Amino acid sequence: SQQGEEDPQALSIQEGENATMNCSYKTSINNLQWYRQNSGRGLVHLILIRSNEREKHSGRLRVTLDTSKKSSSLLITASRAADTASYFCAPNQAGTALIFGKGTTLSVSS
Amino acid sequence: NAGVMQNPRHLVRRRGQEARLRCSPMKGHSHVYWYRQLPEEGLKFMVYLQKENIIDESGMPKERFSAEFPKEGPSILRIQQVVRGDSAAYFCASSPPGDWEKLFFGSGTQLSVL
């Protein structure tokens, strides 16, 4: 198992703006996942991108993966106040438990 | 299909007591994971279990902590002789057989040690 490191630690934007979060990791992976955590709640799976994929979309979410740089980014377009949460990446190797970093705390103000 | 159920939602214990946290995975899920989260921190992996087997316990403290996932019934995380430093939110997650990649999380148990 390995832990991803999210950057920045905190991000504050206005509604309607885009939010970009980055994730770096150290060794080869099978896939990389992004999760969201609202305050006091469990994590919710957002999107999974496999090591042979470069970009993936899901609604207002866009994830990229650069395996040569061992990095990923999560873009949330046209953000809403409801997007306020902490976001975690989890680089995943086969058969191992997911390890989470400290996350990026996103605040979207109206 | 109900989600991952954790109980109790809040648990208060005095130092030296035992804490038992329960997790019922989603129907059909045979993999269970326990994580601990301190305030302002990310989730720390503790243990990964399949039915009746511990697969990875590399994140479990060596003493006072144990976990089980019996053939029947929920997974149990047991903390003996709790100390103030055990106060945290404990989250359980599950995944189905053959699709270990995506985790479904419960709402957590907030343990407070007085």
pLDDT at residue A94 in the model: 77
CB contact under 8 A, B42 and A43: no
Query: B71 and B50 in contact (C-beta within 8 Å)?
Result: no
Residues of B in contact with A88 (CB under 8 A): 42-43
Out of B43, B48, B89, the one facing A100 most closely (by C-beta) is B43
Residues of A in contact with B107 (CB under 8 A): 41-42
pLDDT at residue A93 in the model: 86
For chain B, the average pLDDT equals: 93
Query: A78 and A57 in contact (C-beta within 8 Å)?
Result: no
Per-residue pLDDT of chain A (110 residues; tens, 9 = 90+): 678 999 999 999 999 999 999 999 998 999 999 999 998 899 999 999 999 999 999 999 999 999 999 999 999 999 999 999 999 999 998 778 888 989 999 999 98
CA-closest candidate to residue B40, choices A13, A89, A37, A80: A37
Which residues are registered as beta bridge partners of A107?
A12
Residues from B in contact with A at Cβ < 8 Å: 4, 33, 35, 41-45, 48, 55-56, 58, 89, 91, 93, 100-108
* Confidence label for B2 from pLDDT (cuts 50, 70 and 90): confident
- A77: its two tokens: 């377009």
pLDDT tens for B3-54 read 999 999 999 999 999 999 999 999 989 899 999 998 878 889 999 999 889 9
pLDDT at residue A1 in the model: 66
* Confidence label for B102 from pLDDT (cuts 50, 70 and 90): confident
pLDDT at residue A65 in the model: 98
Residues of A in contact with B102 (CB under 8 A): 33, 45, 48
Residue B1 has pLDDT above 70, yes or no: no
CB contact under 8 A, A100 and B35: yes
Classify burial at A109, counting beta carbons within 10 Å of its beta carbon; exposed 0-12, middle 13-18, buried 19 or more. Answer: exposed
Find residues 39-78 of chain A whose CB sits inside 8 Å of chain B: 40-45, 48
SS3 (DSSP) at A81: helix
Residue B111 has pLDDT above 70, yes or no: yes
Residue B46 identity? M
For residue B49, the chain A residue with the least C-alpha distance is A97
Out of B42, B93, B106, the one facing A103 most closely (by C-beta) is B42
